[in-house]
Chain A
Amino acid sequence: DIVLTQSPLSLAVTPGEPASISCKSSQSLLHRNGYNYLAWYLQKPGQSPQLLIYLGSDRASGAPGRFSGSGSATDFTLKISRVEAEDAGIYFCMHALQTPYTFGQGTKLEIK
Chain B
Amino acid sequence: EAQLLESGGGLVQPGGSLRLSCRASGVSVSRSYINWVRQSRGKGPEWVSVIQRSGRTFYADSVNGRFTVSRDESQDTVYLQMNSLRVEDTAIYYCATASNGVADAFDVWGLGTVVTVSS
Q: Is the CB of B44 within 8 A of A106?
A: yes
Which of A35, A49, A55, A96 is in CB contact (< 8 Å) with B45? A49
Q: Is the CB of B47 within 8 A of A102?
A: yes
Q: Is the CB of B47 within 8 A of A51?
A: no
Residues of B within 8 A of A35 (CB): 104
Q: Is the CB of B106 within 8 A of A103?
A: no
* Interface-centre pick from B46, B58, B107, B112 (highest chain A CB count, 10 A): B107
User: B7 CB to closest chain A CB, in angstroms?
Assistant: 15
6 closest cross-chain pairs (CB), A and B: A54-B105, A39-B105, A48-B109, A101-B47, A99-B58, A51-B107
- In the complex, chain B residues 79-107 whose Cβ is within 8 Å of any chain A Cβ: 94, 96, 103-107
Q: Is the CB of B61 within 8 A of A60?
A: no
Residues of B within 8 A of A39 (CB): 104-106
Judged by a CB distance under 8 angstroms, whether A67 is at the interface is: no
User: A13 CB to closest chain B CB, in angstroms?
Assistant: 21
Interface residues on B, range: 20 to 34
Q: Is the CB of A55 within 8 A of B107?
A: no
- In the complex, chain A residues 61-77 whose Cβ is within 8 Å of any chain B Cβ: 61
Judged by a CB distance under 8 angstroms, whether B9 is at the interface is: no
Q: Can you list 22 A-B pairs, Cβ within 8 angstroms, ordered by A?
A: A37-B104, A39-B106, A43-B45, A49-B45, A49-B96, A49-B109, A51-B105, A55-B104, A55-B105, A61-B107, A90-B44, A92-B44, A92-B45, A94-B47, A94-B105, A96-B105, A100-B58, A100-B60, A101-B35, A103-B44, A103-B47, A105-B44
